[in-house]
């Protein structure tokens, strides 16, 4: 499934460290795909992606694509932001339960109205000038 890509002017306020392993994740995200790792032996997903399965401790993992759909579990609005994010305050962050059973923390986009808890959300790609990040948006 291809995620919507939302153009954002400027650089990411706190860019991630990209390693040889996580480069696969960030490239897929830039292409509009949300992926993660799954243990080959036990079939369990992990997020963020890891070079080993934390459930079986095996280093046999595979990349799998996620739907990018889920439900908003919790949220809050950050008013007193760390220096790196001060220019973006106030902003909303929350926890999303993805349809695949993973729970992730992410920024929550809104159109001025508070998103509804347990309401459906979709993951979108925020395409900054220096690379992608992801966020959830109410459906």
Say how many CA atoms lie within 13 Å of 83 toward its Cβ.
0
For residue 58, give both structure tokens: 């095996």
**Two tokens, residue 13:** 């306020």
Query: Of 123, 117, 118, 120, which is closest to residue 136 (Cα–Cα)?
Result: 123
Structure tokens at 45: 């997903």
* Range(s) of the domain holding residue 89: 5-138
**Which residues of the chain have a pLDDT value below 70?**
none
Count other Cβ atoms within 10 Å, centred on residue 34. Answer: 23
pLDDT in tens, 106-130: 999 988 778 999 999 999 999 999 9
Query: Which pLDDT does position 81 carry in this prediction?
Result: 95
Q: Could you count the other beta carbons within 10 Å of the beta carbon of residue 66? A: 20
**Strand pairing report for 35-39 and 91-98:** unpaired
Beta sheet of 45-46, edge-to-edge order: 45-46, 35-39, 61-65
Q: Tokens 């994010």 — which residue?
A: 85
User: How many domains does the chain fold into?
Assistant: 1
Give the pLDDT confidence score for residue 112 in this predicted structure.
Answer: 76
Give me 111's structure tokens.
């159109």
């Amino acid at each position: 499934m291809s995620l919507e890509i939302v153009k954002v002017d400027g650089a990411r306020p706190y860019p991630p460290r990209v390693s040889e392993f996580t480069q696969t994740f960030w490239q897929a995200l830039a292409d509009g795909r949300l992926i993660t790792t799954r243990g080959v032996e036990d079939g369990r997903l992990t997020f963020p992606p890891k070079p080993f399965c934390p459930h079986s401790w095996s280093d046999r993992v595979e990349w799998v694509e996620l739907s990018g759909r889920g439900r908003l579990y919790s949220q809050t609005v950050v008013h007193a932001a760390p220096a790196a994010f001060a220019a973006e305050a106030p902003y909303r962050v929350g926890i999303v339960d993805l349809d695949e059973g993973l729970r992730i923390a992410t920024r929550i986009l809104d159109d001025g109205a508070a998103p509804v808890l347990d309401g459906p959300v979709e993951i979108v790609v925020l395409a900054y000038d220096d690379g992608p990040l992801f966020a959830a948006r109410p459906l």
